[in-house]
Amino acid sequence: MPLTIAQRLDRLKVRIAELAHWRDRQSAAIDGWTFEGEPIGHHQDWPHRQGVVHFAATAEAPEAWPLADIRLQLDLGGESLITLSYPDGETETFGLDPYHQEFPVKGRRFSIATESVARFPFGEPNRAPRLNKARFIWLDGPAHRLHLLLKQVAEAIDALGEHEVVPHLMDAAEHALRSLDWPSDTAAYISRTSGAVMQQKIWELPELEVNPAGLTDEQSASATTAFEALTARLKELQKRFPPNGELLLTGHAHIDLAWLWPYRETRRKMRRTFNTALSLMERSDDFRFNQSTAHYYAQMEEEDPELLERIKQKVAEGKWETVGGMWVEPDTNMPTGESLARQVLYGQRYFEKTFGTRHTVCWLPDCFGFSGALPQILRQGGIDSFFTIKVNWSETNHIPSDLFWWKGLDGSRVLTHTFDNPMQGYNGFVQADCYVPTWKNFRGKTQHRTSLLAVGYGDGGGGVTPEMVEREVQLRDFPAIPQARWGTVRSFYEQAHRTAGEKNLPVWDGEIYLELHRATLTSQSGVKRKHRQAERALITAETIASLAHMLGADRPRSLETDWRVVLKNEFHDILPGSSIREVYQDAEQELEGVIEHAKAEQAVALQALSAKLPKGGVGDALVVVNPSLAPRPLSATLSDGTVVAAADLVAPLSVAVFDKGSLRPAGGLKASPDRLENDHLAVVIGKDGAVASLIHKATGREAVDGSANQLWVYPADKPRNWDAWDIDADYAEKAVRLDAPDGINLVEDGPHRAAIRVVYRYRNSSVTQTYVLTANARRLDIETTIDWHDRRTLLRTLNPVAAQARKATFECAFGIVERATHTNTSWEQAMFEAVAHRFVDISEPDFGVALLNNAKYGHSARGNVIGMSLVRGPIYPDPLADEGEQSFTYALMPHEGAWHEGGVLDEAIDLNQPLVSAESSGLSAGSFAPLAVTGIPVAFSGLKPAEEGDGLILRLYEPAGRRGSLALELPSGWAASQPLNILEEPMERKGPADIMPFEIRTWKLQMADA
């Protein structure tokens, strides 16, 4: 009875596996190894595995072997950068990892030196590293090529399933195997196959030959004949069954800047991966490789300039493609709009300076959702195309297209492509069983003929292997599977734009929300808090220094060096909280350094600004800068710790000088053990520690429904996978409310500030909250200190508000997102935790309530309840994530009208960036505003020194979806340029109004004679 196709395929795979044992004709061990200068033998354990270690040896291959067929095989027990040094002074460097262990050589004699770590590509420690393999092999080229070709035929048969070409492929493969003249000598055969899985199960193998004979010349020739016949047969079949589909291959090595390893290891991964890619380019004219991230190249410029020069040469030749246009591949949910603009500004400028090119494709394969602000930022940065595959990870709903226009908040569009490769996604393989499903999954094939496919080992780096390059050549002759060729990402998008110009592609409007990894908005609160502080500190330092310059002080210094540190730590596995502990120790230290330096720059700038103010008789002066576009009530903390909350206002983008002796608190502040009140708000704290009442005096409305700031603990925050990344939808099924505080006490009762403190305990943790109302406040601050010592437990605040709306407003970069408060559809149900920057608001037409924060991102809005996640305790990949103490503040703010009418953004800005003040003397009281913005209310993004030439760069944006008139008022002798993009170059803007909904506007401000 004949075998079925499935049975024949099983047999084919067994026969193919047999061929692999004759891939090498002979082998020769490389001895004389040293480990840190001391001898080490084959199969010997490393003496230690701490840090970077160094192996060395001198190697000499047998003279009788053809040089072209000699391969160096190494497995030293971890990842390594290996350098081969030849007698003539030539060197060649490769990356060594589990997928790159065989290397061509340029001579028979050379020395080997390594930088090695006892780690595997995903950061796992090799707890028992040893020198596993070090030898030369004489590669039997015909046997190797036939083995690989037959392997690819078997993979194609698997992938094609019921396709009518399958029986023909099977016949061709079986014929090739039958045509072989294959060895059968007992001793050699048993010795060569002894490593097979089946043979290793035998109770006791007979004595084995150390170096069994390989194929004879005649047997090797039969492999050549079989290979040629099989190739010819494939070409014939290809005529009858032409390729189905077209893929553009881009070699890739996704290198996470930090993740399951610290950044210092990434620096080594870069060198290993980049050297591997360069070695492939030297041996293949067709191979193409892409690598994003300006920061990586800047790192190479410092550490290995010779390597960077080699890369630059390949970039010039068109073989190495730098992509992305950003400083790193950042998270795009949490950075402020100005940070995202700097990602593009500094990224594009670096690429242009270093490689002579800007990028048109944003390359973000692995981020956890994408802000609706991104399309406009990209377009203003010269980028018209976007790539990701992460949208395919959504577990409930899927964006219905994979080649589409992505439309941002302001209407800007970027052409977007995502491919769905089930074999490791953006770390794809050059295999028929990767090609076929990727093409099958490409939904845009009816409109565009080609899909992109990135191939190469990644996340931990490594990249493309020599076998992948060889596979691509062989697969060109295959029938029925998609045609695939190496190419550039840029060329793919150029073709896709031509298609988009001819056909109506689908449009996705607004944010791209990932229905997965929602906990990345909360995990590792420390780095999120310091990141936000660093962003604000830098923006404020630049702003004060620029205002001082407009009043006659020196031109501000560039803070790009500090910005680069911030941008680096926005990487999509750092800021989201999905890395190991060592990453956060480094990141928080780096960000703290930025904060300290930025605040020092603020102090210097404020001193320079004060020096330009009119002199006068105020001997005890308070100099205050408002680095925002809203008038702010005067609040400051003096050098002696005294808090001032006065009735005075500080004008937008101004510096004001006050006589401290004349400052008086705003009226109406009262306090008792359970009540706080000023002219704007009346607050009652219940016996459960929550806000029992919050009266908005201007309207007389109660702002809370029952009680607000309810603290809930969820002890079953145990996702089925991705511990630091995920919150499962049913996390709230088990919940414990903290409603029995240890104490509620009035702790401050001053004329400027009053406060009630509430202390809770939960198991091993404590939460201390201080309700603060200042004399001039329009919000109730909740200063919070958490001392957290419980794992896999989530703490949230829930705030039922006395307002009803079908949508809530969440602040995002350069604008807002409106999200449903109901769960009518699966899309709305899946959005149970979503990002917000500084506020979430629920409003009726005439009244609303906002929840503000200065350090948090994970929020929810269900019905009339605004929720915010405060802390989690995942155990992987950092078992001590958020262990210990952290402090932050959030606030409840009732308001009249919609959020943008009631001053919500202004208060959120004030909470995150208080007025900057310093004490001085000998000045004249008054207010000095060198720059004013009139017309429709807009938001401030930044004021900084120009990247080119003299002058300052002012960036504003419309935050609420309105349009209107806008004008700048500048000091005498100053003028504003025509519209600029975020690269600080002239742009042609569209729109009938001076500013359009969610538009980002940039100008260069210069003195007329500059």
Active site residues: 366
Phi, psi of 90 (to 5 degrees): -70, 145
Residues 6+ apart with CB under 8 A from 197: none
Alpha carbon distance, N-terminus to C-terminus of the chain = 92
> Are 548 and 609 contacting, i.e. CB atoms less than 8 angstroms apart?
yes
Residue found by looking up tokens 């620029």 in the block: 546
Q: What are the tokens at 704?
A: 């809370």
Sign of CA dihedral 568, 573, 574, 580: negative
Cis peptide before 47 (omega within 30 of 0): no
Q: Return the ∠ at Cα 653 (arms to 649 and 658), rounded to 5°.
A: 40
Residue 616, classed as helix, strand or coil, is strand
Q: What are the tokens at 339?
A: 């940070």
Q: Say how far apart CA 411 and CA 996 lie, in whole Å.
A: 10
Return the closest-CA partner of residue 890 out of 859, 847, 846. Answer: 859
Residue 518, classed as helix, strand or coil, is helix
Other Cβ atoms less than 10 A from the Cβ of 161: the count is 9
Return the closest-CA partner of residue 524 out of 899, 339, 259. Answer: 259
Q: Say how far apart CA 456 and CA 681 lie, in whole Å.
A: 60
Q: Say how far apart CA 627 and CA 556 lie, in whole Å.
A: 15
Instruction: Provide the edge-to-edge strand list for the sheet that holds 815-820.
Output: 743-749, 753-762, 765-774, 780-788, 884-896, 847-853, 839-844, 807-812, 815-820
Q: What are the tokens at 307?
A: 């390597």
Strand residue runs (E) in 271-409 = 289-291, 320-322, 361-363, 385-387, 403-407
Strand residue runs (E) in 540-653 = 615-618, 621-626, 632-637, 643-650
Instruction: Name the percent of the chain in helix, strand, coil, to the closest 5.
Output: 30, 30, 40
Which amino acid belongs to residue 558?
S
Q: Return the ∠ at Cα 955 (arms to 951 and 957), rounded to 5°.
A: 165
Q: Which H or E run contains 784?
A: strand 780-788
Return the closest-CA partner of residue 931 out of 890, 899, 974, 887. Answer: 974
442-475 as b/e: b if 16+ CB within 10 A:
bbbbebbebbbbbbbbbbbbbbbbbbbbbbbebb
Instruction: Provide the edge-to-edge strand list for the sheet that holds 133-139.
Output: 24-29, 133-139, 70-75, 102-104
Q: Say how far apart CA 47 and CA 56 lie, in whole Å.
A: 15
> Are 784 and 767 contacting, i.e. CB atoms less than 8 angstroms apart?
yes
Q: Is 207 exposed, middle or buried (0-12, 13-18, 19+ CB in 10 A)?
A: exposed
Phi, psi of 1007 (to 5 degrees): -75, 145
